[in-house]
């Protein structure tokens, strides 16, 4: 009796165990497998965008969610006015988005609230040389680590530049645009020949203000720079002998009458500036305005930046990217989004359907951009020398460099020697930098 009860009890226990174990095994074999091993989540992305967003935004979200259907992308278009401040306020208040369009100076990576991406890049064996280098490395690394990645979005992607020229005005003036290197003196001579002030036609718009020394590589080609490479020094850079030479070149150009005056530029410039209304023959611009270049009825060509004998010659490029909040609770989803937008798959779509310049170098050849009559002229500059623009080196550049612009304007307006004016600007700018950096150490 006891034996039979024990056998029966054992059988009952075995049946119970089997019954309990079965659902667990079934659940384990039928559990959902999400792409990338990322659980369902909503990813918040901030975009500095015009009203209504960029044309490619809906398409990029749809393409991404097709690959990662468990991730819902909540894209928030933030107006350009005050965008950077809104990002910093959100970071300070622990309410930042998971990912945001990044174009702030590189030393903001050192604040500790932006995710270091090295572990993700290493884990996924991501080859950073697929992107245009060295500009991507200069733009998105801090002390050797990546903190953002370039994306084929944001209205631009990789933003190459050059000296745009009006083909119609060049033909009328009997000028053949140089296809290779040419000197600063040749630039001046072309500007003079192209100018016809009675017809409100000017050779160039470079030299009307100090922007040519900050937002283009003219100063670099004179052997000058506004700041040190780390962005912490104005003294000895902003007021160096070579910088004064570069500034005097701009002042001389403007005083010779070949530069469109600011008063006239504002009157005839329209929405995109006097080059696109046919009143300026040569202008600095970048792929950000690609759509306007294609629409121009007079025909747009691209020249390199002029060389200055005795100095290294540089080109200029920039790129927008995505950064991840260090406190995001959706980091794997955030990285998946960033990697998707920085890759060749989306880059090809962005290039062929939305006129965005892809950040993966190989995509230019694969999609025919490298041989496009206009884009090929920008693409050809990618093998030239580059530096990180001075305004992207220091988070305090805009605040502390105001006197530089004022010095140039004063010299232009009064005829004063630029030397003492820029010496004073460098001194005041350095005091400003030193004070601001001392407060964040």
Give pTM, 2 decimals. Answer: 0.89
Residues 149 and 224 in one domain: no
**pLDDT tens per residue across span 126-143:** 999 999 999 999 999 999
**pLDDT tens per residue across span 355-370:** 899 999 999 999 999 9
Domains held by the chain: number: 2
315 close to 304: Cβ distance less than 8 angstroms: yes
Residues 308 and 185 in one domain: yes
Task: Specify the pLDDT at position 441.
Answer: 66
Residues 175 and 259 in one domain: yes
Q: Inform me whether the pLDDT recorded for 26 exceeds 60.
A: no
152 close to 342: Cβ distance less than 8 angstroms: yes
Other C-beta atoms closer than 10 Å to the C-beta of 159 total 22
Distance between CA atoms of residues 71 and 441, nearest Å: 39
Q: How confident is the model at residue 219 (pLDDT cuts 50, 70, 90)?
A: very high
Is 382 contained in some domain? no
- Calculate the average pLDDT of the chain: 91
Domain range holding 286?
Answer: 161-317+390-438
Distance between CA atoms of residues 279 and 295, nearest Å: 16
Q: How confident is the model at residue 185 (pLDDT cuts 50, 70, 90)?
A: very high
- Nearest Cα to Cα of residue 103 among 69, 64, 153: 153
| 385 phi, psi to nearest 5 deg | -80, 145
Residues 217 and 132 in one domain: no
Task: Specify the pLDDT at position 81.
Answer: 85
**pLDDT tens per residue across span 34-64:** 899 999 999 999 999 888 888 999 999 999 9
Residues 283 and 419 in one domain: yes
Is 178 contained in some domain? yes
Residues 339 and 407 in one domain: no
Is 99 contained in some domain? yes
Is 22 contained in some domain? no
Give me the residues paired with residue 159 across strands: 318
Residues 305 and 338 in one domain: no
Q: Inform me whether the pLDDT recorded for 162 exceeds 70.
A: yes
With 0-12 / 13-18 / 19 or more C-beta atoms within 10 angstroms meaning exposed / middle / buried, residue 438 is exposed
> Residues near 71 by Cβ (< 8 Å), separated by ≥ 6?
38, 40, 41, 42, 43, 64, 65, 333, 336, 337
Residues 152 and 170 in one domain: no
Task: Specify the pLDDT at position 1.
Answer: 40
Residues 48 and 66 in one domain: yes
| CA distances, 31 to each of 13, 26, 66 (Å) | 27, 8, 20
Ordered alpha helix ranges (H), 94-147: 118-123, 135-140
CATH classification of the domain holding 136: 3.40.190.10
């Amino acid at each position: 009796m006891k034996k039979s009860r024990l056998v029966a009890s054992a059988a009952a226990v075995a049946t119970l165990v089997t019954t309990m174990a079965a659902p667990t095994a079934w659940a384990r074999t039928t559990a959902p497998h999400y792409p990338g091993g990322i659980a369902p989540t909503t990813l918040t992305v901030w975009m500095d965008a015009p009203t209504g967003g960029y044309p490619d935004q809906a398409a990029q979200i749809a393409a991404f969610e097709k690959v990662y259907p468990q991730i819902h992308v909540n894209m928030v278009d933030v107006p350009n006015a005050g965008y950077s401040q809104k990002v910093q306020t959100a970071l300070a208040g622990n309410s930042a988005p998971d990912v945001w369009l990044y174009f702030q100076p590189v030393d903001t990576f050192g604040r500790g609230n932006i995710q270091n991406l090295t572990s993700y890049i290493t884990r996924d064996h991501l080859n950073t040389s697929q992107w245009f280098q060295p500009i991507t490395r200069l733009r998105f690394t801090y002390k050797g680590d990546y903190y953002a990645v370039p994306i084929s979005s944001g209205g631009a992607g990789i933003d190459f530049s050059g000296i745009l020229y009006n083909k119609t005005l060049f033909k009328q003036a009997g000028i053949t645009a140089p296809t290779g290197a040419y000197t600063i003196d040749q630039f001046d001579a072309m500007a003079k020949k192209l100018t016809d002030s009675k017809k409100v036609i000017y050779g160039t718009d470079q030299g009307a203000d100090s922007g040519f020394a900050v937002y283009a590589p003219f100063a670099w080609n004179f052997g000058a720079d506004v700041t040190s490479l780390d962005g912490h020094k104005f003294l000895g850079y902003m007021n160096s002998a070579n910088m004064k030479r570069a500034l005097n070149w701009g002042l001389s150009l403007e005083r010779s009458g070949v530069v469109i005056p600011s008063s006239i530029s504002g009157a005839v410039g329209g929405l995109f500036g006097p080059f696109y209304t046919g009143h300026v023959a040569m202008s600095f611009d970048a792929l950000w305005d690609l759509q306007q270049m294609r629409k121009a009825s007079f025909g747009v060509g691209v020249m390199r930046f002029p060389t200055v004998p005795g100095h290294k010659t540089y080109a200029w490029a920039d790129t927008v990217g995505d950064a991840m909040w260090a406190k995001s609770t959706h980091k794997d989803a955030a990285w998946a989004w960033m990697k998707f937008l920085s890759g060749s798959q989306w880059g090809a779509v962005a290039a062929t359907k939305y006129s965005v310049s892809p950040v993966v170098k190989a995509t230019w050849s694969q999609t025919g951009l490298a041989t496009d009559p206009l884009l090929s002229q920008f693409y050809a500059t990618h093998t030239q020398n580059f530096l990180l623009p001075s305004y992207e080196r220091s988070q305090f550049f805009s605040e502390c460099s105001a006197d530089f612009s004022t010095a140039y304007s004063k010299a232009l307006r009064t005829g004063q020697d630029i030397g003492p004016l820029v010496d004073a600007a460098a001194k005041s700018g350095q005091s400003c930098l030193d004070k601001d950096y001392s407060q964040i150490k």
